[in-house]
Chains A and B, each alone.
Chain A
Amino acid sequence: MQTKNTKTFYLIPYYVWIILFVIAPIGLIAYYSFFDLSGNFTLDNYFNFFTSVYLKLTLSSFWYAFLITFFTLVIAYPTAYLLTKTRHKQLWLLLIIIPSWINLLLKTYAFIGIFGLYGPVNAFLNVFGIGETQILFTDFSFVFVAVYIFIPFMILPIFNSLDKLNPSLVDASRDLGASSWTTFSKVILPLTINGVKAGIQAVFIPSLSLFMITRLIAGNKVITLGTAIEQQFLVTQNWGMGSTIAVFLIIFMVIIMIITGQRDKGATSIGKNK
């Protein structure tokens, strides 16, 4: 009886936390999304979302989030694979993770200098006779900086699943005559797919709502759902519309979570059955 009481006691902070910081804010957002500027109950915000401006905004957010996730994955998977092969893998992993401890804004500001007309990148290009190029405030710089920021979040889950992979399975596959490609696509990839999915979740979802980078690195030429929400709350003071966009953002996130969710329980259990 006493242990049961203690258990409930320990759970209280958890419930308080969930209610105050997860359920209540989402509830408030949903609540505000039904009110217009003068405080009347309305569904107009939702209809408004389906006008050209916001639809275009959503599409472009998804497109950039896709690009960012794609390039992060392309870089992170081989890196994580090589990491598992190195001798001091924990050290290498730490070196990759350390930059993610530095404040995001500081890193972003650094890139303003690096990509500037008189920055090191342009100086480097000049050596090869390529004149001053506008790098800052382009799509390229935006995707580049976002990929740089998200890489640790992609490497970590992939590294973990690759590290857990039983090497004898790979050996067995090779012994039985499979080519490198077949081994990768039929053995390694299926066994690490959950790491990849977790990585995609950790990158794609925050990419949809990036907002400081869109201003500092893309010069507001790239607009994401995050920028739009910030504008609605701080400038327009239209909390209803801001909340509506936030509601859609949450819906998109849930959909992505479901798509990338760990349905394939079989693979994990095989991985663990060493």
Chain B
Amino acid sequence: MKDITRTAIGIIAVCIVLFGINKYLSQNSGNAGSDTVTIFNWGEYIDPDLITQFEEESGYRVVYETFDSNEAMMTKIEQGGTSYDIAVPSEYAIEKMKENDLLLEIDHSKIPNLSNIDPYFLDLAFDPKNKYSVPYFWGTVGVVFNPSLLDGQTFESWETLWDPSLKGKVLLVDGAREIIGMGLNSLGYSLNSTDEKELLEATAKLKKLTPNVKAIIGDEVTQLMVNEEAAVAVTFSGQAADMMWENESLDYAVPLEGSNLWFDNMVIPKTAANVEGAHEFINFMLGAEVAAQNTDYVGYSIPNAAAVELLDEEVTSDERFYPPVAARDHLEVYKNLGLEMLGKYNELFLEFKMSGN
């Protein structure tokens, strides 16, 4: 009994010490709000040198954390805990965060570099007048293909994917919105369709694609395409750029019937402890030279007109990644369809996946 009492007291003592340390640490990071900027971004989505440069120029210390899906990011911000000063959600997630009152308004007077942004990317439907968000990168959904493994198909149309000669050669990204959207686009419907009949038609059409589908996967697509294990993949333009960087024989095309145009924007979440620093960081990232350097590193398409001027002509005139405005007409931005509709999309996607056997 004596031993137990002693052990119990020991455990309690250790707990008190740990609790104290924990409190000290959290106080430190909480109070330090005024001299740190906490950034919450996608993995591999910024040039690390720029963080150092920002720290030197502004005197703030940067805490950098990454996430791998909009949903995970929103959950973490909703829970509080860490006081993120900057986050980089995609457009539909911004709509949702606005609805849930998770964002602070951005003070445009503190961001003079906003004038660098191509007006095409400002004042979009998901955030009128850019009250809550500032463009970071943008891109499309399209088809990456390896001409050396194909007989001349070029994917100007989604229809090409259904070509019987592509049996077992097509990889699809594991996303309900992307793949059901592709089915809708291939039939000439909007990828934001909420019409039951159109959705069912799209699913039926997708089921006919099954023999050609090799796999429906996530980030593994990159490695499989680079290693030439598959000939065709439906994926995001950014991922396509990564693959083409590693394997030069790959090519990318956005089918003409229509596809998705996506944006990742910087926002200031409600949890921000250093709103001033967050504005400074946004303004820094919008600077022409900084944005150009970041684009060189990340490889996605930059909405910053001043940075585009500085970038290699070869990069920015590549219409696969910087489609001219006229070609963007057939591209659509995802609308937040609501959880109910998202559930419907996922159920249909599940049905499509199961039609494989």
B354: contacting residue among A53, A116, A136, A236, CB under 8 A? A53
Are A219 and B214 in contact, CB atoms less than 8 angstroms apart? Answer: yes
- Give the residues in chain B near A56, CB-CB below 8 Å: 354
A-B pairs under 8 A by CB, number: 80
Question: Quick one: which of B4, B218, B229, B339 contacts A117, CB cutoff 8 A?
Answer: B229
Which residues of chain A are near B168, meaning CB under 8 Å?
134
Given A134-B214, A215-B217, A220-B353 in contact, is the A236-B342 Cβ separation under 8 Å?
Answer: yes
Closest Cβ of chain A to B7, distance in Å, is: 11
CB pair A221 B350 closer than 8 Å: no
* 0 or 1 for each of B208-244: is its CB under 8 Å from A? (1 = yes): 0000011111101000000111000000000000000
- In the bound complex, do residue A6 and residue B217 qualify as a contact, i.e. CB atoms below 8 Å apart? no
- Interface of chain B residues 151 through 191 with chain A (CB within 8 A): 168, 174, 176
Whether A137 is near chain B, meaning CB under 8 Å from some CB there, is yes
- Residues of B near A139 (CB, < 8 A) are 357
Whether B220 lies near A112 (C-beta < 8 A) is: yes
A220 partner residues in chain B, CB cutoff 8 A: 174, 215-217, 353
Q: Are B176 and A235 in contact (CB under 8 A)?
A: yes
Partner of B339, one of A6, A9, A37, A216: A37
B10 to chain A, nearest CB (A): 15
Known: A237-B71, A237-B339, A238-B343. A223 touches B354 (CB 8 A): yes
B interface size (C-beta, 8 A): 30
User: Please, which residues of chain A bring their CB within 8 A of the CB of B174?
Assistant: 215, 220
Q: Is the CB of A123 closer than 8 A to any CB of chain B?
A: no
Measured CB to CB, the closest approach of chain A to B349, in angstroms, equals 9
A137-B71 in contact (CB<8A): no
| Given known A-B contacts A139-B357, A228-B350, A237-B71, A219 and B227 have beta carbons under 8 A apart | no
CB contacts (< 8 Å) of A57 on chain B: these are 350, 354
Q: List residues 318-352 of chain B with CB under 8 A from any CB of chain A.
A: 339-340, 342-343, 346-347, 350-351
Q: Is B69 an interface residue (CB 8 A)?
A: yes
Q: Is B356 interfacial (CB-CB < 8 Å)?
A: yes
Min Cβ gap B342→A in Å is 6
What residue of chain A has the Cβ atom nearest to residue B171's Cβ? A219
Residue from A60, A139, A219, A231 whose CB has the most chain B CB atoms within 10 Å: A219
Once bound together, how far apart are the Cα atoms of A183 and B69, in whole Å? 58
Report if A53-B347 is in contact (Cβ < 8 Å); known contacts: A112-B220, A223-B353, A223-B354: yes
A236→B343 contact, CB < 8 A? yes
Contacts of A117 in B (CB 8 A): 228-229
Which residue of B is nearest A60, CB measured? B354
How many angstroms from the CA of A232 to the CA of B342 in the assembled complex?
Answer: 10
Q: Are A221 and B357 in contact (CB under 8 A)?
A: yes
Which of chain B's residues have a CB closer than 8 A to the CB of A231?
A: 346, 350
The answer to whether A234 and B220 have CB atoms under 8 Å apart is: no
Give the nearest-CB partner of B229 in chain A.
Answer: A117
* A218, B213: Cα distance in complex, Å: 12
Known: A117-B229, A139-B357, A215-B218. A223 touches B350 (CB 8 A): yes
16 A-B contacts (beta carbon < 8 Å): A9-B4, A37-B343, A112-B220, A117-B229, A118-B228, A134-B214, A137-B214, A219-B213, A221-B216, A223-B354, A231-B346, A234-B69, A234-B71, A237-B71, A238-B339, A238-B343
**Interface, chain B (partner A; CB < 8 A):** 1, 4, 69, 71-72, 168, 174, 176, 213-218, 220, 227-229, 339-340, 342-343, 346-347, 350-351, 353-354, 356-357
Given contacts A37-B340, A237-B342, A241-B343, 15 further A-B contacts (CB under 8 A): A9-B4, A53-B347, A53-B351, A56-B354, A60-B354, A60-B357, A134-B168, A137-B215, A215-B216, A219-B216, A221-B356, A234-B69, A235-B346, A237-B71, A238-B343
